[in-house]
Structure formats: C-alpha cells, structure tokens
Chain A
C-alpha cells in the first residue's frame, strides 16, 4: 500500500521533470546543430557548441577564474537583492497605508517596473564609479531594477487581504502591532513571496547589465567574464559565462522561491492536490 503510494509519487515527480529535461535537450540539440553547421561571425570566429562551452567551464574552474567570479557576483546579487527588498517593502507598506502616497507612486512604480534597468548603469557609472564606489554602483542598479516588483507585490498582497480578515481582527480587538503580527503579515505573505520571486529575476538581469557596463573598473564577476570573452574574441568563454548566468538564475528560482511559494500555498490549501 505504502510502496504503491511512493511509486506513484516518484512517477509523478518524474512526469513533472520529463518535459523540462526534454526542453533543455531540444535547446542543446539546436545549439549543437548550429555549431556543427559551422555558423561563424563576420570576423570568422566559429560558434562553439555546448560541448565546447562546458569544456571551457571546466577549464575556467581549473584556472581558478570561474569560482571567484561567481562568488563575487552572487554576493553582489545577495546584497543588492536584500537592499531592494528593504526599499521595496518600505515603499510598498507606506503606499498601502497612505492613500495620498499610493495615488502618487502607484503608476510610477508600474512605470519603473517596465523601465529596463540597464538605463541606470551609465548613470550609476557617473555618480558612483567616478567616486571610486564601484560596488555601490552595482547595488544601485540592482535596487532600481528590483524594488518596484517588491513594492507592487506588497501593494497587491495588502489589497487582496479579505475584508473579513480585518473584521475578525477588529472584533477580536487587535490593532497596531498585533494587527500586523497576527493578521496582515501572514495574510499578505503569498502575494509578497510572488513579488520577491519576480524581483529576483529583475535583480539578476539588472546585475548582469551593471557588470557588463560598469565592467572593467570593478573587480570581476561573471558579467565581466563575458565582457572579457568579447574583448579577446574568446567565444567559448562567452558562452560558458552565458550558461553559468542562465543556470544560476534558474537554480535560485527553482531551489529557493518555488519551494517557498509552494509550501506556503499548500499549507493554506491553495494548491490543487493533483
């Protein structure tokens, strides 16, 4: 009985995984086809295949280049993301509670969200890099890219709290900090996490833009690795960097945000048992 249940559980996980593996296989297959077909740049640089890129990843790791760059980029991403989280949460909460502020920043946030955050990179170069604060320039771009998603997430999460929850809180005599601690924060959590997840995608993109543009002056991360490849016409290095950027972005979403969100929804019975 139990073993049957486990078996169906396993096959269900397998069935969920299969389309994703298939997708990756199709992508790699197409890439390999283009490489074998001998696609090359006007200057004659040949498109490397997936195998070349993977081999380059191994080489870069052996040379002690990849890991420090990856760690530096991840630490920038983490710090920038946490700062964006703080700014976005503060802005979102203030806008949710103060009608005038909401009217003022509501459409502004949506506008900022659609603004490609790469536009902040040249500005950050002038304001921070020239003063010797390269890291701050990175954080600035990440914050500008990610905080609107967080703030919008807070706003919509707050708006979607059922009125009955507030009625209950009032009838129980909860107000001020108690209202937030026992009702608002928990009720808004799923919407907040959805905003956090979207903000991660935005901050990762913003950081890559920042590393590419602010580039050579700062200590190197993965973005600069890509930029190095470009200056040296080292295509395998470029594709190795792109692969790493892609894998990190997906991995953080899959290993951190997806389980967090699913766990939250499952506990509240908002996920179909399937």
Chain B
C-alpha cells in the first residue's frame, strides 16, 4: 500500500483529526519563577499521518509530546486523542536491563495479560520486522545503540496502539545507523498504517520521514510554519528534493532563532 494513499482524500474540517491539540498552554514552575514552555499551541493530526514536529532545543516540542502521551497535563487548553495508551519512544531506548530483548518486547503484552504463546508469537514477529530476531535472547547491554532503538521500536509496536509518539529517537545515533533506521521506520510505518508524531531537531530527518513538517518557534513554544511534503517515498537523505526543502526550512528556523536573539 502506498503511504500517500493513507492521507487521501484530504478531508478538511475538524472531524478528520485523529489527534487534536486545542489552544494548549503549558507553564512550569510556580508563579514567581515560571517558564512558559508552550503558548496557545494548536495541532491537528490525521489518522495514518506521519507528522514531524521540528524545533530547536528548548522550544517545548518534547513537552508537547508528553502532553499528547498523557504523561503530563496542560495548564490551559485540551488534548484529544483516541483512548488507550499511545506507544512512546524516547531518545534513550529505556529497555529494561534485566530482561532479554524478547522479554522487553513482550512487556506491553505481559502488562495486558496476553497468553504466553501469543506474547512469544507477537514479539518474534515484531523482532523480525525490525531485524533483531537473531538477538532475541541477548541482553540490552549486548546490543549497539541502533539495535537498542530497534528493540525499543519493536516494544512500542507491541503496544498495538495506532498512535506512535517518538521523542528524538534517533538523535543519539551515528549518521549511518540513523539512515538505516529512517528507511526501516518508513517501511514499518507503511506496513502498520500507524499515526506518528515524531519530534526532532534534525531538519533533513523531518523532511525525509514526514508527510508534514510542523516548525515550532522558541520561547515560548508556538506552532509556526508548516510544510506538506509530497516527495514520493522511499526518500533518500541526499535526494535533491529533500535537500532543497530542508534548506528552505533551515532558513526559516534560523530566522526564528535570530529574531529571538534580537528581541
């Protein structure tokens, strides 16, 4: 199935939204020393869409993800998303070091009390999907950074949630490994038809992966310009179309940061 088919027909109107962030403001700290992380943020994500939220560090993009995940509550505004726990991936794999890779992937199934045969079957299927089946019995510390993130992806998929929230999951990886994981994630997204909100500070990563790039401005975090990306998949990182759009977005990002400094 083509990935682009997922987002057609492009229905307009609020009803098409799968995740809805309505005028969300998030303030940390007490009245005297408060920091406004997010100010009146609005975001709509359609079912099956891959949205990349792009911003410099400190723009509140991770805060936004926590709010969508339901790990934190907004100071004002509301977040609407499908019931259940969305799958979450962090910059660190957060694999449990005392479990084998397979048992880590089985964890979400174990928590919802799936029978052991089903757990095993699902985990092995997902491990095969991320190319880790040969390492099912290894411990997390025996894996490379890229393999750990693959295992974390398999665990996220084991949650069987249609919504996948990713918080800079590849930021700590080297360029070659990251490139491989981009290709794998794109393929897996097309296979699973999941809805993805992917937070990153890497412009090319956002352009390569997303159906849409949402730029966040800094201090306080607001939603700035958005780009719909129609470059056909599979995309390469050094694709001229990817490079040129990334250049355009980088220019915009820089303008925001310089403007922030002049203010």
Scan residues 183-242 of chain B and give those whose CB is less than 8 A from a CB of chain A.
none
Which of B4-12, B26-34, B40-48, B85-93 lies at the interface with chain A?
B85-93
In this complex, what residue of B is CB-closest to A189? B98
For the complex, is B111 an interface residue (Cβ under 8 Å from A)?
A: yes
A151-183 interface code vs B (CB 8 A; 1 in, 0 out): 000000000000011011011111000100011
Scan residues 170-209 of chain A and give those whose CB is less than 8 A from a CB of chain B.
170-174, 178, 182-183, 186-187, 189
B141 partner residues in chain A, CB cutoff 8 A: 268-270
Contact of A173 (CB < 8 Å), options: B90, B97, B111, B142 = B111
For the complex, is B60 an interface residue (Cβ under 8 Å from A)?
A: no
Give complex CA distance A229, B92 in Å.
62
For the complex, is A20 an interface residue (Cβ under 8 Å from B)?
A: no
A270 partner residues in chain B, CB cutoff 8 A: 97, 141
In this complex, what residue of A is CB-closest to B165? A171
B157-192 interface code vs A (CB 8 A; 1 in, 0 out): 001000000000000000000000000000000000
Whether B139 pairs with A164 at a CB distance below 8 angstroms is no
Q: How many A-B residue pairs have CB under 8 A?
A: 51
Given A164-B94, A268-B98, A269-B97 in contact, is the A178-B111 Cβ separation under 8 Å?
yes
* Minimal beta-carbon separation of A236 from chain B (angstroms): 49
- Chain A interface: which size bin? 10 to 19
Give complex CA distance A186, B94 in Å.
14
For the complex, is A62 an interface residue (Cβ under 8 Å from B)?
A: no
Give complex CA distance A170, B86 in Å.
11
Whether A167 pairs with B139 at a CB distance below 8 angstroms is no
What DSSP secondary structure best describes chain A's contact surface? helix
* Minimal beta-carbon separation of A172 from chain B (angstroms): 6
B111 partner residues in chain A, CB cutoff 8 A: 172-174, 178, 182
Give complex CA distance A269, B95 in Å.
13
What DSSP secondary structure best describes chain B's contact surface? loop
For the complex, is A15 an interface residue (Cβ under 8 Å from B)?
A: no
A20-33 interface code vs B (CB 8 A; 1 in, 0 out): 00000000000000
Whether B90 pairs with A164 at a CB distance below 8 angstroms is yes
For the complex, is B108 an interface residue (Cβ under 8 Å from A)?
A: yes
Give complex CA distance A178, B112 in Å.
10
In this complex, what residue of A is CB-closest to B85? A173
B81-118 interface code vs A (CB 8 A; 1 in, 0 out): 00001111010101011110000000110110000000
A167 partner residues in chain B, CB cutoff 8 A: 71, 90, 94
B71 partner residues in chain A, CB cutoff 8 A: 167, 170-171
* Minimal beta-carbon separation of B192 from chain A (angstroms): 18
Given A167-B90, A182-B111 in contact, is the A172-B85 Cβ separation under 8 Å?
yes
Whether A164 pairs with B98 at a CB distance below 8 angstroms is no
Whether A172 pairs with B108 at a CB distance below 8 angstroms is yes
Most B CB within 10 A of own CB, among A171, A182, A268: A171
Most A CB within 10 A of own CB, among B69, B87, B88, B98: B98
Report, nearest first, the 4 A-B pairs whose CB atoms are least far apart. Answer: A269-B141, A268-B97, A171-B88, A173-B85
**Which chain A residues have a beta carbon within 8 Å of chain B's beta carbons?**
164-165, 167-168, 170-174, 178, 182-183, 186-187, 189, 267-270
**Which chain B residues have a beta carbon within 8 Å of chain A's beta carbons?**
69, 71, 85-88, 90, 92, 94, 96-99, 107-108, 110-111, 139-142, 159
List 21 contacting pairs A-B, 8 Å CB cutoff, sorted by A.
Answer: A164-B90, A165-B94, A165-B96, A167-B90, A167-B94, A168-B88, A168-B94, A171-B69, A171-B71, A171-B86, A171-B87, A171-B88, A172-B107, A172-B111, A173-B85, A182-B107, A186-B96, A267-B98, A268-B139, A269-B142, A270-B97
